[in-house]
């Protein structure tokens, strides 16, 4: 009796639906979860053929399934489970996974069905398909737009003469194109990033490693493309002479702490950025935007070229003569043969391998530092690490 009461309690409180039928397909019992799924009270369906809970064509064929099994032993209705449709009392249908077991008593045989509602899973799958379709359409539209822009630029170049005035016009056109291309890329990249985040959010209940892996790849690719766009846009503005420093008094320690917090969020697993300030003063007279760009670029490189479970030292110092910013890592280092080329645009050290980058970052940092009357120098040893130092005279 105790075992019977335990079994009844389990059936009554089960999340999934449980239904039993006799060997003629008549309903004997439904647990509360099954009654809620189909929208019936037990007395409304008890004794009726199980087909009342099925839409066509399963309704017409159900008795045939039972008959075939009883006469031939063909186990089409017995097994680990199959996906079928259910018919609610209000006429609506819903998908569920059905697993059926045969129970042999001394004098008769009954069949027990276990019903797992798939409605939420199907809705989530449909949302993911819709997001994927929207993403593909957006990428296709932006690709066509960019191809048109590139073709337009190519046609414009053919019409430009070699005269000084025409060369000036070409430079102006190039500047506009870089700005326009940057805008055209940023919009779809933002959409891709948002869609990837939404896919990641809606996929959370499934804990699917493949979805998480590919969403992570999308996010990393978007981050790399955004960095490339920022580097090219910064270089174009520098080449055009449109970067003028605005010297402003600001709190260096506060800015550095904000950057540390921001960069820690994109650091690798168990990478720690350790910030420390030396000196009693914290106010400096520099361009905060240009300095922030320099700091972020150098810390990004330290993150990129260092492994997991490492420390990145970020130090600032203000003394009577100078303001000094130091970023030090213990990453892959820079080969000595590459030191003299390091600040050339588009140059990348030979040991960077498949690590993404444009080779523009250090050139931009050096030029920003120069605009603020500062200097950038470094020390590095292969497989030991690299230290970059920004110094500004007061």
Query: Given a cut of 50, is residue 76 above it in pLDDT?
Result: no
Q: What is the pLDDT of residue 330?
A: 93
Alpha helices in the chain (DSSP H): 2-13, 32-38, 42-45, 58-72, 119-159, 164-202, 209-239, 252-264, 288-304, 361-371
Residues in Cβ contact with 175 at an 8 Å cutoff, skipping those fewer than 6 apart: 236, 240
Instruction: Determine which of 233-237, 271-275, 321-325 has the lowest per-residue pLDDT on average.
Output: 233-237
Residue pLDDT, tens place only, 290-336: 999 899 999 999 999 999 999 999 999 999 999 999 999 999 999 99
* Average per-residue pLDDT for the chain: 80
Q: What is the pLDDT of residue 248?
A: 95
Mean pLDDT of 16-44: 87
pLDDT band at residue 187 under the 50/70/90 scheme:
low
CB 175 within 8 A of CB 236: yes
Question: What pTM was estimated for this model as a whole?
Answer: 0.50
pLDDT band at residue 380 under the 50/70/90 scheme:
very high
Nearest to 251 by CA among 215, 222, 279: 279
Mean pLDDT of 28-35: 88
Crossing angle (nearest 10°) for helices 252-264 and 288-304: 30
Query: Given a cut of 80, is residue 72 above it in pLDDT?
Result: no
Q: What is the pLDDT of residue 152?
A: 75
Residues in Cβ contact with 279 at an 8 Å cutoff, skipping those fewer than 6 apart: 317, 318, 319
**Higher model confidence: residue 282 or residue 211?**
282
Could you name the CATH architecture of 1-118? 2-Layer Sandwich (3.30)
Q: What is the pLDDT of residue 318?
A: 96
Instruction: Determine which of 115-119, 299-303, 385-389 has the lowest per-residue pLDDT on average.
Output: 115-119
Q: What is the pLDDT of residue 131?
A: 83
Could you name the CATH architecture of 244-393? 2-Layer Sandwich (3.30)
Please state the domain extents for the chain: 1-118, 244-393
Domains 1-118 and 244-393 belong to one CATH topology: no
Nearest to 54 by CA among 64, 62, 66: 62
Q: What is the pLDDT of residue 78?
A: 45
């Amino acid at each position: 009796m105790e075992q019977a009461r335990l079994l009844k309690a389990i059936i009554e409180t089960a999340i999934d639906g449980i239904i039993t039928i006799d060997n003629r397909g008549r309903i004997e019992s439904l647990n509360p979860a099954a009654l809620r799924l189909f929208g019936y009270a037990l007395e409304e369906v008890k004794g009726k053929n199980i087909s009342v809970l099925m839409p066509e064509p399963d309704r017409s064929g159900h008795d045939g399934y039972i008959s075939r099994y009883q006469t031939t032993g063909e186990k089409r209705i017995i097994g680990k489970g199959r996906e079928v449709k259910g018919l609610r009392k209000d006429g609506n249908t819903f998908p569920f996974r059905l697993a059926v077991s045969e129970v042999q008593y001394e004098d008769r045989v009954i069949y027990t069905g276990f019903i797992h509602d798939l409605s939420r899973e199907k809705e989530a799958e449909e949302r993911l398909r819709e997001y994927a379709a929207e993403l593909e359409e957006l990428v296709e539209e932006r690709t066509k737009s960019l191809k048109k822009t590139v073709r337009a630029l190519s046609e414009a170049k053919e019409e430009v003469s070699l005269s000084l005035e025409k060369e000036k016009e070409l430079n102006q056109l190039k500047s506009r194109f870089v700005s326009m291309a940057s805008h055209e890329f940023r919009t779809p990249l933002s959409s891709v990033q948002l869609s990837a985040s939404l896919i990641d959010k809606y996929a959370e209940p499934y804990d699917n490693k493949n979805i998480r892996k590919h969403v992570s790849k999308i996010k990393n690719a978007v981050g790399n493309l955004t960095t490339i766009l920022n580097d090219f846009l910064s270089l174009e503005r520098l080449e055009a002479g449109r970067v003028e420093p605005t010297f402003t008094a600001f709190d260096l320690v506060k800015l550095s702490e904000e950057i540390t917090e921001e960069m820690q969020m994109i650091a690798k697993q168990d990478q720690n950025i350790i910030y420390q300030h030396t000196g009693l003063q914290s106010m400096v007279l520099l361009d905060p935007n240009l300095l922030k760009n320099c700091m972020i670029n150098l810390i990004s490189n330290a993150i990129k070229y260092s492994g997991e479970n490492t420390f990145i030292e970020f130090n600032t110092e203000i003394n009577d003569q100078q303001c000094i910013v130091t970023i030090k890592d213990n990453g892959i280092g820079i080969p000595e043969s590459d030191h003299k080329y390091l600040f050339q645009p588009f140059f990348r050290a030979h040991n960077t391998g498949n690590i993404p980058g444009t080779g523009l970052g250090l050139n931009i940092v050096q030029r920003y530092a120069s605009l603020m009357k500062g200097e950038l120098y470094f020390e590095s040893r292969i497989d030991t690490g690299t230290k970059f130092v920004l110094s500004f005279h007061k």
